[in-house]
Amino acid sequence: GAGVSQTPSNKVTEKGKYVELRCDPISGHTALYWYRQSLGQGPEFLIYFQGTGAADDSGLPNDRFFAVRPEGSVSTLKIQRTERGDSAVYLCASSLKAGGPPDTQYFGPGTRLTVL
Amino acid sequence: QKEVEQDPGPLSVPEGAIVSLNCTYSNSAFQYFMWYRQYSRKGPELLMYTYSSGNKEDGRFTAQVDKSSKYISLFIRDSQPSDSATYLCSGGYQKVTFGTGTKLQVIP
C-alpha cells in the first residue's frame, strides 16, 4: 500500500513569507508526527497528534509554528514569518496508534524547505 | 548537552566487515531505544528497537542497550554495500529523541 506522502517535496520561499507543508499518513494510522531535520543532524521532534488532537507540541520552537489535523488524517504544518533558520527538511511520520509499546513510525520522504 | 550523543563519522569499512555503531544518552527516563537507517534524501526507516537493557538480534543486526552506562550499540555482521546509509540511534516513546546519525560506507 501507499506510504506516507508529503507535499511539496521542495519549497523555496523568501524570508517573512508564510508556508504550509502537507502530510498524508498511511491510511488507518491514528498517530502522526512532525520532525525537523537540519543538515548533518538527526530529526528533531516538533509535535505529534493522536487523532485530531495535538498530544504533545513541546517541540514546536516558537509561536510561528503551528500544525493541524482537523479530520484525524491529513496534517498541515504552518510556518508564519519564515526565517532563514527555518531552512531544513520537515519530516512527517505516522504510526498505527500511540500509547503502547513503540509503534513503528513510518516516515515520509520529507519536504525540503529553503528560506532565502 | 544533547540527550542522545552519536559520533557522526563518516565510517568506512570493507564489505564483509563487522560494523559497530555506538551512542550514549543522558535521559534516564528512556525505556525504548531504536535504530533507524536513513538513505540519502529519504526518510528514516526503523531497523529495530529494544526495551530497557539487553540484546536483540534480527538477521545480521544486533542491538544492545546497557542502561547502567547509558550506552546503545548496533552491530552489523557481514556488512554489504547496500548497508551504506546514515544510522540514527534514538530513545523515547512517541516523542523520539534522535542522535546526530553516523554515516556508514561499506566499500565493495
d(CA B23, CA B74) in angstroms, rounded, equals: 9
Per-residue pLDDT reduced to its tens digit, B12-32: 999 999 999 999 999 998 989
Q: What is the mean pLDDT of residues A36-47?
A: 95
Closest by Cβ to B43, choosing from A56, A59, A110: A110
Residue A83 has pLDDT above 60, yes or no: yes
Confidence category of residue A97, pLDDT binned at 50, 70, 90 = confident
- Helices and strands (DSSP H and E) totals, chain A: 0, 11
> Residue A42 and residue B90: Cβ atoms within 8 Å?
yes
d(CA A46, CA A86) in angstroms, rounded, equals: 13
pLDDT of residue B7: 86
> Residue B98 and residue A42: Cβ atoms within 8 Å?
yes
pLDDT of residue A100: 56
Q: What is the β-pairing status of strands A10-13 and A111-115?
A: parallel
Question: Which residues from chain B sit within 8 angstroms of residue A43, using beta carbons?
Answer: 44, 88, 96, 98
pLDDT of residue A98: 56
pLDDT of residue B99: 95
d(CA B60, CA A89) in angstroms, rounded, equals: 30
Q: What is the mean pLDDT of residues B87-98?
A: 89
Take residue A102 and report the three cell numbers written for it: 513503540
Per-residue pLDDT reduced to its tens digit, A71-82: 989 999 999 999
